[in-house]
Structure formats: structure tokens, C-alpha cells
Amino acid sequence: MAFEPPRRLVRALGETAPEGDDWLEKLPGLAREAVDRRELTVERVQLPGGRSSLVVLVRTADGTPAVLKLAPSRARPESERVALAHWGGLGAVQLLEPVSEGTEGVLLLERLHPEVSVRTLPEAKALLEAAGTLRRLWVDPPEDHVFETVAERTGRQAKAMRAGADAAPEVAPLVDAALSAREDLLDSPPEHRLLHGTFRQSKVLSGDRMPWLAVGPDPVVGEHAFDLARLVRDRVEDLIAQPSGATTTRRRVRRLAESLEVDRERLRGWTLFRAVESGVRARRVGRERDAELLLEFATWL
């Protein structure tokens, strides 16, 4: 079988690829090697797929349905492996293969139902189920962990945001507000827990072992509000289209903060930072429509 990367993956990785990166060119060969090493039977490449990895639906030698995921090192697949192992299937997809020779950049996972995510539910139900899943992931990190912290990750992002504001002065006030919020939030974080890192409705899939399980973490250690912030802006295109979008957003912040016992102002601050960061990044790579939506959303916070 040919392991051609989906167009969505090619486009997304092309936006972030460092000069000289040839992972996409090597990907078909890497996929064949991973399949042969594990004696897997390939069903199909999942489409449209993700933005940072190739996902292949497979069966193991004993016929068990599974997922083979291949990702470049810059997507931090080894960090994902450690987090999934630490969660042990509680709230997240189950890792089927421990670290061993030939596993770098390759994850073998339990098969969920990729066509059924929490996002397919009515909005109120979707937020409730997503929040319940996220709560199960918030555990103490492993001792001597090597996960990136919220301070470290947002520090890298802050540098790119400043550069974006220099290139587009019209976004400078929003960037200033987001960076100021970050400084205040990092001054006294209320907890340091293992977080999903990139949580949203589409990252919660239907499963057989449990009704809903999270996939695709980019784990980070920090406070709960940082993880919850991305969920606030889910379905942002629908929010922008509503005459009451700003009011709905503020209500969502309040409800999510109350349901997960997170400080409302801390959630608002991290939602602002993450929306502006995503908007500036979208503008930098030419996704102007996404940038407009995200930056308008940020003005409501």
C-alpha cells in the first residue's frame, strides 16, 4: 500500500518545517518499515487526518484493530508517548506499545471511532463531555518528568508574538494585552499538573472501552486554566457568526470555570493569550481568515 501523506498534513507541516527538513519525503518508507516491524495489516490512511502526524488504521497480528501514528520529532511524539503511558488509558487513548528499539516517532494506539468526536454533539452536551474528559487527565506529572512547562512553551510563543506585532502594528494592542496577562498569570500559578496541552472538542473521540477518550496530546505541565482555555473558543466560527457571540463567549468562560473549579479570571487571561497567539501565528503563515476570526474573538475577552 502507498503511504501518501494527506494534503492537510503536507500543508500544515509545510508551514512549520525548518529549512532542510525531509521528514515528509521519508514518510512513506518510515511507514512501511513501521508496519513490517510490527507485522500489521493496513486498512487505510485516515483522511483528512491530523496536522502533525500520519494516522493509519491497522490490525495487529492477532486481528486487534489499532492505529499507527507517525510524527516528526518537532511534533514531540516521545513526549506524547510518556504522557499516554502515565495516564494509562484513564481519560485518554491507550498506548499499545512501550518504548523499545524502533519506536521513536511511532505510536501504536488503541482504535477509537475517528468519525465520532465530541464536536458532533450539540454544543452544550459537547462542552459537558469534553470538560469531564479533561478533568480525568489532570494528574500529577511523573517524578523527574521532562515535559515542557507552560512558562517555557508560552515564553517561546511570546517571542514570536512580539515579532508578529512588529510586522503588523494593528495587532500590537492585542499582543500587548495578551503578553501582560501571561506575565500576571505566571506570577503565582495555583497548581502544576500534567495537561493535555492542545485540548479541544475534536480531540475527544468515541471509544469502546470508555464513551469518550482524548487523543493527540502535546503535553505540558502547568495550571488547569491553561488547558481549559483552548476549549473556550471551540467552534469559533459559529461564535463569530452570532449577534450575541461576545455574550456567549463570556458565559462559556463562566460555565467552564465553575464546572471545573477554575478561577474565572485566570481562564479568561489564558484564553486571551492563546487566542492572540494562534491568531498571530495564523497570520504569519498566510491563513488570514483564521487570523481574523481568532483576533476578533480575542477582543471579546
Q: Are residues 164 and 290 in the same domain?
A: yes
**Do residues 249 and 239 touch, judged by C-beta distance below 8 A?**
yes
Establish if 267 belongs to a structural domain: yes
Omega cis (within 30) before 48 = yes
Range of the domain at 38: 7-110
| Residue finishing a domain among 50, 77, 110 | 110
Q: Which three cell numbers stand for residue 98?
A: 512501550
Q: Is 258 exposed, middle or buried (0-12, 13-18, 19+ CB in 10 A)?
A: exposed
Number of Cβ within a 10 Å radius of residue 61: 9
Distance CA 7, CA 77 (A): 21
pLDDT (tens, 9 = 90+) of the chain, 301 residues, equals: 667 888 888 888 877 777 768 899 999 999 999 999 999 999 999 988 888 999 999 999 999 999 999 999 999 999 999 999 999 999 999 999 977 666 789 999 999 999 999 999 998 899 999 999 999 999 999 998 989 999 999 999 999 999 988 888 899 999 999 999 999 999 999 999 999 999 999 999 999 999 999 999 999 999 999 999 999 999 999 999 999 999 999 999 999 999 999 999 999 999 999 999 999 999 998 899 999 999 999 999 9
Q: Are residues 54 and 136 in the same domain?
A: no
Distance CA 251, CA 229 (A): 14
**Do residues 213 and 203 touch, judged by C-beta distance below 8 A?**
no
Q: Are residues 24 and 145 in the same domain?
A: no
Please tell me the total count of domains within the chain. 2
**SS3 state of residue 65:** strand
Q: Are residues 68 and 133 in the same domain?
A: no
Distance CA 293, CA 186 (A): 27
Q: Are residues 200 and 239 in the same domain?
A: yes
Distance CA 220, CA 227 (A): 9
Q: Are residues 11 and 129 in the same domain?
A: no
Q: Are residues 277 and 134 in the same domain?
A: yes
CATH of the domain at 82: 3.30.200.20
Establish if 1 belongs to a structural domain: no
